[in-house]
Structure 1
Amino acid sequence: MPHRPRLALPGGARIAVYVVVNVEDWDFWKPIVRQYVPSPQAVPVVPDVQNWAWHEYGLRVGFWRILKALSERGLKASAPINARLCESYEPVARAMLDSGWEFVGHGVVQGAMHAVPDQREAIQSSMRILRDFAGLAPKGWLGPGMAETGETLDLLAEAGFGYVCDWAMDEHPVEMTTDHGPVVAIPYSLETGDLPMMVAHHHESEVWLRRLRDQFDRLYAEGETQPRIMSLSVHPYIMGVPHRIGYFEQALDHFARHDGVWFANAGDIHDWYRGAGLG
């Protein structure tokens, strides 16, 4: 980082912030994607009703709180979406489209790419389904669980995806080489996501908000000499619940109180990076 030329974000911004709303479709008849409550006596169960219903609540209720919070502030999200959701939860997908959110590839159904029988077909189907629904091909991809195999990047480039969010390794975009041309890794703020903080590490909401403010404040200060990029990643079944949504709103309001913040989506950042001749 200290040896790079200074980046120039649009409008002379110090920091680019993009909101990620992960919208997932879980298979009721398969082992659950992730648990919030362990199964009784630690016995794996299918169907896992209480944990599947936790995710279902996010689509029925939590998503709409997050959509309202963003819409009231004039903000749009980048939404990694399981492509099957365009049919199985069409009102959610339609609301995202009508609100101008960016559709981001996220597999067909939620599950690690390592377990997909035909990864090429799953990636290409995701591209096709989202393009047909939205009328515009998605530019980017975030893997389910941010998981990739050794061939995932090549297959994404082959299918036409221009950027990925799986590689949380920098605060600037990084160009990655594939067999089908370069793919840009867009910065992703892994440790501030609601999933690792709330579900994996069991932090309280106040801790999540404080960490977001601390992250933003430091990047904003450093952005005076070298602009930075920060994501805010949430899930409807985690941050869309009544006791957490207010913290999400407070985080957005904290960012908005500062001048020199470019609220973008991941695709905007990719296009800026390419248009500036940086990759």
Structure 2
Amino acid sequence: MLLPQPPRYDYSAIVDRPTYDWPGGARMAFYLALNVEQFAWGRGTGHAPHNWNNGADPRIFAWRDYGLRVGFWNILDILDELRLPCCHLVNSAVCDNFPTVVERINARGEEVVSHGRTNAERPGDYFEADERRLIQEVTTTIERRHGQRPFGWMGPWISESPVTTDLLKEEGYRYIMHWPCDDQPVFLKTRAGPLLNVPYPIELNDAPAILNRGHSAEEFGRMMTDQFDMMLALSAKRPLVCAISLHTFVFGSPFRLAQLRQALEHIAKFRDDPRVWFATPGAIADHVLALPPGTVPGSEP
């Protein structure tokens, strides 16, 4: 029986691929992604802990807004204390409207990944010309506010139109984070040539885990450490990417911070372990893009 297959990549079993190392001979690349998002009052889409059908509910908006007012600062304080890096998945609306948030990110000197304009919209719903203009606007805004041109894209809600990946390649992006099909980077087919997909976590992501699937903070903390430890063991056989995604309005709440700190303290113990490379999606992409053709699925000459 022949079933429709994804248009962007071909099947590749991880056990059949060439092996390679991360910088310094590391076996597992680890990165922490912090989603820094703005939502619209009374309209548009967005996360919600309750009352999903009423976007104008002040409790829902205020709960999201807590992330930029309080949660963002709480999480970065813990990362500073533990000397752990992260990358920042930033809505360009945040760049225009929250200068103190921009200043804190810039002071850390870390990678900023394009996260669309706002999580109150889904770019994949746009017509092609409008989606291209949106990508251009986001890119220009982030470059202007953060002083670095973003080369990675994680769209709001991982929203993907039939041409999103094509447009990103054509607009100069080097990687996307939409396709959770693998624990290694793979190349996606586009009409302008291959575009790298860097693994991004769907399950090790606090928003769907806690808000949609009902996991507790304690359970998610255990998921973080179990994922890290098990992937480190598996990486003895092949290079892997281990990633964890946090949202400022979810794990930025004090009662969850204790579980976050405990999990990150465990991960921080591996800072000097030669098997682990504390990286960013952009650094992972740069390393993979420099590998010989045929090493990574989709890069065959």
> Residue in 2 aligned with 1:86?
95
Structure 1 position 100 matched with structure 2 position 109: yes
Where does 1:253-268 land on structure 2 (aligned, <5 Å)? 253-258=265-270, 259=273, 260-268=275-283
The answer (yes or no) to whether the contact 1:32–1:48 under 8 Å persists in 2 is no
How much does 1:78 deviate? 1.4
How much does 1:32 deviate? 4.0
How much does 1:181 deviate? 2.6
> Residue in 1 aligned with 2:201?
189
Judge which range, 113-122 or 161-170, deviates more: 113-122
Structure 1 position 138 matched with structure 2 position 150: yes
Show structure 1 runs of 4+ deviating over 6 A. none
How much does 1:8 deviate? 0.6
Structure 1 position 115 matched with structure 2 position 125: yes
Where does 1:1-279 land on structure 2 (aligned, <5 Å)? 1-38=14-51, 44-110=53-119, 111-116=121-126, 118-258=130-270, 259=273, 260-277=275-292, 278=295, 279=299
Q: Measure, in 1, the Cα distance between the counterparts of 2:83 and 2:290.
A: 25
The answer (yes or no) to whether the contact 1:80–1:142 under 8 Å persists in 2 is yes
How much does 1:46 deviate? 5.0
Q: Measure, in 1, the Cα distance between the counterparts of 2:27 and 2:55.
A: 48
Q: Measure, in 1, the Cα distance between the counterparts of 2:283 and 2:186.
A: 15
Q: Measure, in 2, the Cα distance between the counterparts of 1:272 and 1:135.
A: 22
The 3 A distance-change label for structure 1 pair 52 and 168 is: same
How much does 1:223 deviate? 1.0
The answer (yes or no) to whether the contact 1:31–1:45 under 8 Å persists in 2 is no
Judge which range, 28-37 or 127-136, deviates more: 28-37
Q: Measure, in 1, the Cα distance between the counterparts of 2:155 and 2:210.
A: 20
The 3 A distance-change label for structure 1 pair 210 and 181 is: same
Residues 182-216 of structure 1 show CA distances to partners (whole Å, capped at 9, x for unaligned) of: 21100122111101111001111111111222211
The answer (yes or no) to whether the contact 1:79–1:103 under 8 Å persists in 2 is yes
Q: Measure, in 2, the Cα distance between the counterparts of 1:25 and 1:116.
A: 19
How much does 1:257 deviate? 2.2
The answer (yes or no) to whether the contact 2:85–2:110 under 8 Å persists in 1 is yes
Consecutive unaligned residues of structure 2, counting only runs of 5 or more, are 1-13
Q: Measure, in 2, the Cα distance between the counterparts of 1:213 and 1:86.
A: 32
Q: Measure, in 1, the Cα distance between the counterparts of 2:124 and 2:290.
A: 34
The answer (yes or no) to whether the contact 1:62–1:241 under 8 Å persists in 2 is yes
- Code of the residue aligned with 2:188 in structure 1: it is M
TM-score, reference length from structure 1: 0.94
Q: Identity across aligned pairs (percent)?
A: 34
How much does 1:38 deviate? 0.9
The answer (yes or no) to whether the contact 1:102–1:267 under 8 Å persists in 2 is yes
Q: Measure, in 1, the Cα distance between the counterparts of 2:239 and 2:229.
A: 12
The 3 A distance-change label for structure 1 pair 228 and 128 is: same
Q: Measure, in 1, the Cα distance between the counterparts of 2:172 and 2:41.
A: 31
Residues 131-178 of structure 1 show CA distances to partners (whole Å, capped at 9, x for unaligned) of: 111222101000101120110001111111111111111011001121
Q: Measure, in 2, the Cα distance between the counterparts of 1:86 and 1:166.
A: 22
Tell me how many residue pairs correspond in the alignment.
Answer: 275
- Code of the residue aligned with 1:48 in structure 2: it is D
How much does 1:253 deviate? 1.9
The answer (yes or no) to whether the contact 2:84–2:268 under 8 Å persists in 1 is no
Q: Measure, in 2, the Cα distance between the counterparts of 1:18 and 1:247.
A: 18
How much does 1:243 deviate? 0.7
The answer (yes or no) to whether the contact 2:90–2:114 under 8 Å persists in 1 is yes
The answer (yes or no) to whether the contact 2:47–2:64 under 8 Å persists in 1 is no
Consecutive unaligned residues of structure 1, counting only runs of 5 or more, are none
How much does 1:19 deviate? 0.6
Q: Measure, in 1, the Cα distance between the counterparts of 2:178 and 2:249.
A: 21
